[in-house]
Structure 1
Amino acid sequence: MTDRARVLAYRVAAHQFDRGTADPAALRVFDLGVQDSERSAVPALAARLPEVPDLSAFTLTWSVRGAPHWHRPKSLPALAAALWPLSDADALARMNRPKVDAPLDVFRAVVEALKSVVDGPMTKGEASTRLTPLVPPEVTGWCRGCRATHVHDPIFRVAVLPAGLRFDPDAKTVTFVPIKGRRIPQRTRGFDGLVHDYLALHGPAGPSEVAAYFGAPVKDVKAVWPDDLVEVSRGKFLPADRVEAFENPPSPDVARLLPPLDPYLSARDRDLLVPDKAHQKEVWRILGRPGAIMMDGEILGIWRAKVSGKRLDVTLSPFAPLDVERFEEEAQRVARARGLESARIK
């Protein structure tokens, strides 16, 4: 088995594509959270579970990189502390601002103000209106779309979790709900645990991949890099309890239609996942993201779908000749995950 084949085999097993558990909470992807920016979470979980999952026991909020993720509810206080910026430079990076004086202080001011104004269920628009006059002016600006001055959206997003807010998933518009017992973190605590979680799922990898995933400066990640990791190849690490799984991964035998933003695609070493640069551009399009055709860990093409009545029409665009029959059942699963009755591969 080549080095690359070993990494892919390890990740297929780590992502639990074997559908060996029926309990969503037991999936390793929830250690980091499951992104749901484009209705991607349920199909992503269905690729790992025997049945379409019920997410009512999980909590949705803006967390990693300010993107919406589903999490185990009990993990949120620790996650808020672990994601607290590591430094002033990290705070600038997380807020996506070129220059702010005392960035950590400004970040805390925004979080404290957001916590104070959202004292019950509240829409994003109402929260933004209340928040804007309470924060430093350098984090606000005129928005053409809203025709109003408000806190820049990236800053708003990364402040939501440390302010102790979650979403009401049943609301038609973004609505925040305070998390019971919420407390603002005093400092970064537990980032090393997130490093372990990333490497367990997407390793072996190094500080640059971890930094890119969390949107933090590489310098800061290197400064807090855990010393209990095992370097399995030059500059690539794994948690010690995952080394044996890496050395002896089962041979993958899976065919999946991964949705856009599936956790498997969120690893930051894209050259390893998809070596061909032209194919990378297809898989990770910025606009109009497609799904990815995955067989035995290899990304073999992209797919798109269109709803036709109660049927999902799936169009496959493989990078090379493909055994389409292996994906017929997966197309049906994707349809069920989207609440449809059937699927047809075109």
Structure 2
Amino acid sequence: MTSTDVQKMTWAEVRARRLRRHGLATPFTGSGPADVVAAMAGTHAQVMSAAELAIGLRLGHATRSDVRAALWDEHSLVKTYGPRGTVHLLPTRDLGMWIGALSAAASVPTTFPPHVRLTPDQAEEVVAAIGDALADDMLTIDELGDEVIGRTGPWAGDLVMPAFQGMWPRWRQVMHLAGMRGALCFGPNRGRKVTYTNPRRWLPEFRPADTEPALAWAVRSYLHAYGPSTPRRFANWLSLSVPRASEIFDALGDELRRVEVEGTPALVADGDAEAPPEAHGGVRLLPYFDGYSYRVGVQCPEQLYPGRAAERVLPGAFQNLVVDGVVTGLWHQRRSGRRLDITVEPLVPLTAAQRAELDEQAERVAMILEGTPRVTIGTVAVGAHA
């Protein structure tokens, strides 16, 4: 392509595109939680209440109960280990494609020291044991550990992994791998205890897709949600090597189209180079990890975290105050019964209209979390979420 053939975009247009694609400019209508999660190419769910809020904000009248129903009653969502080996909600309808793609990413070398690591054969043995143990059951972590050790050997139970002021057994280092292979997913809590099961218990027809078609599908899904982007950013998002990601992009050939965002080359799917006007995106209170999802792999952080936000918000996993697609502060909520005390720390002055919209957004947050809000403008004294 010559430079005149390449579509030019501004960062403001990219932000407007992102707000629209993620249901943050206007909530999705006629959609359910699984549609929102598909539009986001997965929803980070390390903190489940944050995932419930992230999905609810993108729907017109949903609450956390709707997300829970999608997970545990309808099974239109599944909670498992997704991109980068982190806990995500994924649409059940796409699970085969996800597992096909994640299985390729799951071969990233371990960072554990040699005396902790499982050998490749041991790792495969543990993953198989996890899948077998959960095939007809729903187990807590301790119950699953007993089953895995019984199926493999005492070496799997060696307490060698430092974790939370204690030590975890060796087998747990590949729990994420079991999820990314489709052998494990989360079940509903048993009281305060997390449970795990095999997704095939709910989805008897589930089969992982072949790797290459699944990776091509992952690129298309990623570019729809996060484009324009590059192979390097896709590699960071899915946890692939950059050369491998480049191979996948190259194989798509004419399916991709080059654009330039204020001089920076990037790619979108052919026919999907929508550049909406610099529309008003409104005031949004994004929950934990949603801020990361909002920015990942799309553009330089300085385009989303200008000024003081680069120092105050960007380094930690804070909840983000977003105004017109730009992070302009942080916030925190504390629950006491039904009351939800929301503290917002703007890093730039808010107009009267933005302050009113902030109150509306707090009402929406409280509705999703099924509480009653009380908003305070002040300093967020708690640290970032670990």
Bucket of the pairwise TM-score, normalised by the shorter protein: 0.7 to 0.9
Instruction: Go from structure 1 to structure 2 and tell me whether the alpha carbon gap of 1:101 and 1:123 turns closer, same or farther (over 3 Å shift).
Output: closer
- Matched with 1:21 is 29
Once residues 151 and 76 of structure 1 are traced to their aligned partners in structure 2, the CA distance between those partners, rounded to angstroms, is 24
Q: Tell me whether 1:174 sits opposite 2:226 in the alignment.
A: no
Q: Tell me whether 1:269 sits opposite 2:293 in the alignment.
A: no
Q: Tell me whether 1:76 sits opposite 2:95 in the alignment.
A: yes
Question: Residues 110-129 of structure 1 correspond to what in structure 2 (within 5 A)?
Answer: 110-119=126-135, 120-129=137-146
Once residues 85 and 51 of structure 1 are traced to their aligned partners in structure 2, the CA distance between those partners, rounded to angstroms, is 37
Superposition CA RMSD, Å: 3.1
Asked if structure 1 preserves the Cα contact closer than 8 Å seen for 2:156 and 2:169, the reply is no
Instruction: Go from structure 1 to structure 2 and tell me whether the alpha carbon gap of 1:21 and 1:272 turns closer, same or farther (over 3 Å shift).
Output: farther
Asked if structure 2 preserves the Cα contact closer than 8 Å seen for 1:270 and 1:280, the reply is no
* Residue type of the alignment partner of 1:115: G
- Matched with 2:381 is none
Once residues 29 and 185 of structure 1 are traced to their aligned partners in structure 2, the CA distance between those partners, rounded to angstroms, is 17
Once residues 27 and 322 of structure 1 are traced to their aligned partners in structure 2, the CA distance between those partners, rounded to angstroms, is 29
Question: Residues 226-305 of structure 1 correspond to what in structure 2 (within 5 A)?
Answer: 226-227=252-253, 228-233=255-260, 234-243=264-273, 245-246=274-275, 248-249=276-277, 251-262=279-290, 263-267=293-297, 269-276=299-306, 279-286=309-316, 289-305=317-333
Instruction: Go from structure 1 to structure 2 and tell me whether the alpha carbon gap of 1:149 and 1:102 turns closer, same or farther (over 3 Å shift).
Output: closer
- Matched with 2:382 is none
Q: Tell me whether 1:207 sits opposite 2:231 in the alignment.
A: yes
- Matched with 2:60 is 50
- Matched with 2:82 is 63
- Matched with 1:198 is 222
- Matched with 1:336 is 367
Residue deviations 1:278-301 (CA, integer Å, cap 9, x gap): 523432444xx3211112211111
Deviation at 1:304, TM superposition (A): 1.5
- Matched with 1:162 is 181
The 3-state SS of whatever aligns with 1:151 is: helix
Per mean C-alpha deviation after superposition, the further-off stretch among 144-153 and 165-174 is 144-153
Deviation at 1:223, TM superposition (A): 2.0
Asked if structure 2 preserves the Cα contact closer than 8 Å seen for 1:204 and 1:238, the reply is yes
Instruction: Go from structure 1 to structure 2 and tell me whether the alpha carbon gap of 1:307 and 1:136 turns closer, same or farther (over 3 Å shift).
Output: same
Once residues 151 and 5 of structure 1 are traced to their aligned partners in structure 2, the CA distance between those partners, rounded to angstroms, is 47
The 3-state SS of whatever aligns with 1:45 is: helix
Asked if structure 2 preserves the Cα contact closer than 8 Å seen for 1:253 and 1:295, the reply is yes
Once residues 62 and 284 of structure 2 are traced to their aligned partners in structure 1, the CA distance between those partners, rounded to angstroms, is 14
* Residue type of the alignment partner of 1:345: T
In structure 1, the gaps of 5 or more residues are: none
Asked if structure 1 preserves the Cα contact closer than 8 Å seen for 2:183 and 2:198, the reply is yes
Once residues 169 and 231 of structure 1 are traced to their aligned partners in structure 2, the CA distance between those partners, rounded to angstroms, is 44
Asked if structure 1 preserves the Cα contact closer than 8 Å seen for 2:288 and 2:318, the reply is yes
Once residues 333 and 168 of structure 2 are traced to their aligned partners in structure 1, the CA distance between those partners, rounded to angstroms, is 37
Once residues 98 and 139 of structure 1 are traced to their aligned partners in structure 2, the CA distance between those partners, rounded to angstroms, is 17
Per mean C-alpha deviation after superposition, the further-off stretch among 258-267 and 180-189 is 180-189
Deviation at 1:74, TM superposition (A): 2.1
Instruction: Go from structure 1 to structure 2 and tell me whether the alpha carbon gap of 1:205 and 1:98 turns closer, same or farther (over 3 Å shift).
Output: farther
Residue deviations 1:198-240 (CA, integer Å, cap 9, x gap): 1111111101111111122212211222322111125311111
The number of residue pairs the alignment matches comes to 336
Residue deviations 1:103-141 (CA, integer Å, cap 9, x gap): 5x6654443232122231111222233325728969975
The 3-state SS of whatever aligns with 2:271 is: helix
Deviation at 1:191, TM superposition (A): 1.0
Per mean C-alpha deviation after superposition, the further-off stretch among 28-37 and 121-130 is 28-37
Question: Residues 85-104 of structure 1 correspond to what in structure 2 (within 5 A)?
Answer: 85=104, 91-93=107-109, 95-97=110-112
Once residues 242 and 175 of structure 1 are traced to their aligned partners in structure 2, the CA distance between those partners, rounded to angstroms, is 40
Deviation at 1:337, TM superposition (A): 1.9
Q: Tell me whether 1:134 sits opposite 2:141 in the alignment.
A: no
Asked if structure 2 preserves the Cα contact closer than 8 Å seen for 1:12 and 1:252, the reply is no
Q: Tell me whether 1:37 sits opposite 2:56 in the alignment.
A: no
The percent identity for this pair of structures is: 22
Once residues 156 and 20 of structure 1 are traced to their aligned partners in structure 2, the CA distance between those partners, rounded to angstroms, is 34
Once residues 178 and 167 of structure 2 are traced to their aligned partners in structure 1, the CA distance between those partners, rounded to angstroms, is 22
